[in-house]
Structure 1
Amino acid sequence: MHRLVLSLAAALLGASSTALAQDGFSWRSGAPELSLGDGAVRLTPVLRLDADAGSYWDQDTAEGFRSGTNIRRGRVGLEATLPQDFEAAVVWDFGSSRPGNAGSLYEAQFAWSGLGWGTIRVGAFQPAHMLERAGSSMDLLFMERAAMTNLATSVASGDRRLAVGLEAHGARWTAAGYLTGGDINVPQEWGQRGVAARVTALPLDGAVQAQLGGNVAWQFRPGSQGSYNEAGFGDSPELRVDSREFLDTGTVDADNVWAAGPELAAGAGRFYGQAEYQWLFLDTRDGTRNGEAWYGAVSYTLLGEPRKRDAKAGVWKRPAPANGFNPARGEWGALEVAGRFSSADLRDGPVQGGAQRIWTAGLNWYPAGWMKVMLNYQNGRIELADENRDFQALGLRLTFNL
């Protein structure tokens, strides 16, 4: 590692003295790029906007979910490809999963891929711990990840997580493991310590591609709101225009927090499907309290190129326009329909966090590789100790990604 740092420093110094005639702007992979040192250093801007609007109705109790709008993601930053197989990224996010809580550091990471078969990553980033977290949010089937994913990744991964890890891959397998801390933007969580890992294998790789996998997360030193040995599970419905959470265990005394489970993903032509299951554990002073969560989702690409597997990440990338967007020639980009059922149950003994079940139907339009329009319909039910809450919702998202 000492030699690599010295090589990096020497290469950067050399790049800074290279004649400007060898440098310049270009367009690479759909984004502008600044090359320095005859291509030894490449800088690419990060620009991302997810603008959401949502409406709730058919709620049978007072104080229900509120309709509204939200800048879900508003990311601005810079990615750098450096000599000696190094990469770096710094990204700020002016959007939020909680309306009104915008403006925080989203990513500050440094990575080295000189192993060839893997990458060492350190900093604040999103560990590739689960199927819905291993790829870009641009590739999600729906506006939001399933509640199961958010519950499980809250243990030791998720956005903005302080971490160091190794991500490895082959043509038909992936493996990733991380040692993690808390959210870089929440000083009260810096005392958290945990581990997260994911493995996948592709036993079928023909007309049908089928991938099996599993993951685990363990917070062996819980910490919440500045206090050690405190933890809990909670999540909003799968739409982010209201900050209310009825699915919530609250904060409880816990020595350990666990989440683990299997995953399945498969593609066949224009069809794609994925499913995940998680066991959730809170080791409290009164014994271990269990929860469970799962989802199943399917999609079909109506127009454009269907989803394709990314062997490096072990995920299926979003559909792509076959010939761009040109209505005069009958070219409308890519169009996808999708459906999902998700379930989460956080009720066990004195821990009564409720249960949530949501049916979601989605329509995704990709006019270009850098643009996405999503329309989601939800029909959900939340079961609490003293009442049940039924709701329907309609969500719309407009995404631009450079």
Structure 2
Amino acid sequence: MRRSPVLAFALMAALPAAAQEARPDGLRWDGIAPTLQLAEGNFTVRPLVRLDADLGSFFGQDEPGGFRSGVNLRRGRLGLGGTVLRDFTYTFVWEFGGSAPNDYNNIYEAQIAYTGLGWATIRAGLFTPQHMPEYAGSSFDLPFMERAAITNLAASLATGDTREAAGIEGRGELGGGGARWNASAYVTGGVGSTPHDGRQRGAAGRAVVLLPPMGPVQFQIGADVAAQFHPGTDPGPQAVRLRDYPELRVDSRRFLDSGSIRAGQAWAVGPEAAGRVGPLYLEAVWQRLTVEPTDGPTRRFDGWYVEGLLTVIGPARERSNETGTWRRPKAEGRFGSVEVGLRYSTADLGATRQSIWTAGVNWYLTDRFRLQAQYENGRTGESRDFQAIGMRASFNL
């Protein structure tokens, strides 16, 4: 009997999936990345490695006692990840690097997630919640060496890296025409690597909508919120302290600092927008931070950033349906991919304000190896001007 073309095509399309299901247990390789499969695919394990080696040089500082140049193993992560019973994923990662100087190491991530719902993931443990666009995706996708200061300030209230949290992350299509949505919500505790905030309690969330494409234009809008209901400072009185680095982490000094504020609660809220036109990607975020002191009037701070990235060699950034962020360009061809970027960020903490222009270039030699270089021109406070050059070599497995 002659097989219809439609049936033949369906059978051919099903072959890769069937082959995947029938693949015997053992060690598989994706380039240099190994995965061990056991129990007929019900258990998998793979190594996780992330190395970011940084060099930063500050100059053009008019005031004494300014930022200091140096080198830093910004990220030195080793761990394991995989699946259990197909619908559960797990990750355990140890951090040997960090902000300079760092003479200790600690757990970076220890989490388990249920993915069987399809449209959503339920996650718990120590991990980085999908709050703020620069934290929602992988740090390997970040276009500059560090996140904008306002991102770190807002996230410090209830999210950020190594946060004790439990929550849900959803995604899906929105009607027809290519519109999509992503949303996340968490209850959170302290930071696993910070010993003094174990009693901290908070909540956070993010929601974005990708509008139907208009020719070559993709546009996404959304909002982020974080609330700290109980600072959990121990020992000492309950307090909130907002501070950040000059968007390089080769020196421990942080002149952008609100000081310690005795407070019962604090929150951050604001919109985000992102989009792509061909090889050009644009992103903007604004946040209002509010602190409720126990012995004084409400204090309000704010900040924002806007950035643009242009892929000059290779394919442009593409949106991830899992996280609602735009991933790094894929490394293709003999020379990989290259993108250039420009960002302006500012954060106002009342007593101090920091504003920085950053220009950078990213060279993705392969999908696992990247070189970065950037130039900063900034000011902290009323008169602390500075310039800096930063370089990074990254490996991600």
Give the TM-score taking structure 1 as reference length. 0.89
Aligned to 1:362: 360
Report the alpha carbon displacement of residue 23 of structure 1 after superposing the two structures with TM.
Answer: 2.3
Q: Which amino acid aligns with 1:156?
A: A
Cα distance per residue 1:22-68 (max 9 Å; x no partner): 42111137621111112221111001100000000000011010000
Q: Distance in 2 between matches of 1:196 and 1:374?
A: 31
Q: Which amino acid aligns with 1:224?
A: T
- In the alignment, which of 103, 110, 119 is matched to residue 105 of structure 2? 103
- Secondary structure in 2 matching 1:138: helix
Aligned to 1:112: 114
Q: Distance in 1 between matches of 2:212 and 2:251?
A: 41
Aligned to 1:264: 273
Aligned to 2:306: 296
The answer on 1:311 being equivalent to 2:314 is no
The 8 Å contact of residues 129 and 198 in structure 1, kept in 2 or not, is answered as yes
- In the alignment, which of 206, 209, 228 is matched to residue 201 of structure 1? 209
Cα distance per residue 1:228-257 (max 9 Å; x no partner): 521121101000000100000111111111
Residues 114/146 of structure 1: CA separation in 2 closer, same or farther (3 Å cut): same
Q: Distance in 2 between matches of 1:135 and 1:61?
A: 37
The 8 Å contact of residues 76 and 95 in structure 2, kept in 1 or not, is answered as yes
Aligned to 1:391: 386
Q: Distance in 1 between matches of 2:71 and 2:123?
A: 35
The 8 Å contact of residues 200 and 213 in structure 1, kept in 2 or not, is answered as yes
Q: Distance in 2 between matches of 1:228 and 1:30?
A: 50
Aligned to 1:400: 395
The alignment of Structure 1 onto Structure 2 pairs a total of residues equal to 367
Q: Distance in 1 between matches of 2:235 and 2:169?
A: 31
Q: Distance in 1 between matches of 2:203 and 2:158?
A: 6
Report the alpha carbon displacement of residue 226 of structure 1 after superposing the two structures with TM.
Answer: 2.9
The 8 Å contact of residues 191 and 228 in structure 1, kept in 2 or not, is answered as no
The 8 Å contact of residues 180 and 193 in structure 1, kept in 2 or not, is answered as yes
- In the alignment, which of 35, 39, 42 is matched to residue 40 of structure 1? 42
The answer on 1:245 being equivalent to 2:248 is no
Q: Distance in 2 between matches of 1:35 and 1:268?
A: 41
Q: Which amino acid aligns with 1:197?
A: G
In terms of mean alpha carbon deviation, does 154-163 or 21-30 score higher?
Answer: 21-30
The 8 Å contact of residues 223 and 231 in structure 1, kept in 2 or not, is answered as no
Give the TM-score taking structure 2 as reference length. 0.90
Cα distance per residue 1:130-183 (max 9 Å; x no partner): 100000001001000000100000000001100000000013000000000001
Q: Distance in 1 between matches of 2:242 and 2:267?
A: 11
Report the alpha carbon displacement of residue 84 of structure 1 after superposing the two structures with TM.
Answer: 4.6
- Secondary structure in 2 matching 1:224: coil
- In the alignment, which of 283, 294, 302 is matched to residue 292 of structure 2? 283
Aligned to 1:375: 373
For structure 1, list consecutive stretches of 5 or more residues without a partner in the other structure: 1-20, 324-330
- In the alignment, which of 117, 121, 145 is matched to residue 143 of structure 1? 145
In terms of mean alpha carbon deviation, does 38-47 or 58-67 score higher?
Answer: 38-47
The answer on 1:187 being equivalent to 2:183 is no
Report the alpha carbon displacement of residue 305 of structure 1 after superposing the two structures with TM.
Answer: 1.2
Report the alpha carbon displacement of residue 366 of structure 1 after superposing the two structures with TM.
Answer: 0.3
Q: Which amino acid aligns with 2:311?
A: T
The 8 Å contact of residues 71 and 99 in structure 1, kept in 2 or not, is answered as no
Q: Which runs of 4+ in 1 moved over 4 A?
A: none
Identical columns (%) = 47
Aligned to 2:349: 346
Report the alpha carbon displacement of residue 318 of structure 1 after superposing the two structures with TM.
Answer: 0.2
The 8 Å contact of residues 274 and 296 in structure 1, kept in 2 or not, is answered as yes
Q: Distance in 2 between matches of 1:300 and 1:59?
A: 30
Q: Distance in 1 between matches of 2:356 and 2:45?
A: 42
Aligned to 1:94: 96
Report the alpha carbon displacement of residue 225 of structure 1 after superposing the two structures with TM.
Answer: 4.3
Cα distance per residue 1:308-344 (max 9 Å; x no partner): 0001100000011223xxxxxxx21100000000000
For structure 2, list consecutive stretches of 5 or more residues without a partner in the other structure: 1-22, 174-179
Q: Give the aligned CA root-mean-square deviation in angstroms.
A: 1.3
Aligned to 1:60: 62
The 8 Å contact of residues 22 and 37 in structure 1, kept in 2 or not, is answered as no
The 8 Å contact of residues 309 and 316 in structure 1, kept in 2 or not, is answered as yes
Report the alpha carbon displacement of residue 102 of structure 1 after superposing the two structures with TM.
Answer: 4.0
Q: Which amino acid aligns with 1:382?
A: T
Q: Distance in 2 between matches of 1:196 and 1:101?
A: 31
Q: Which amino acid aligns with 2:316?
A: P
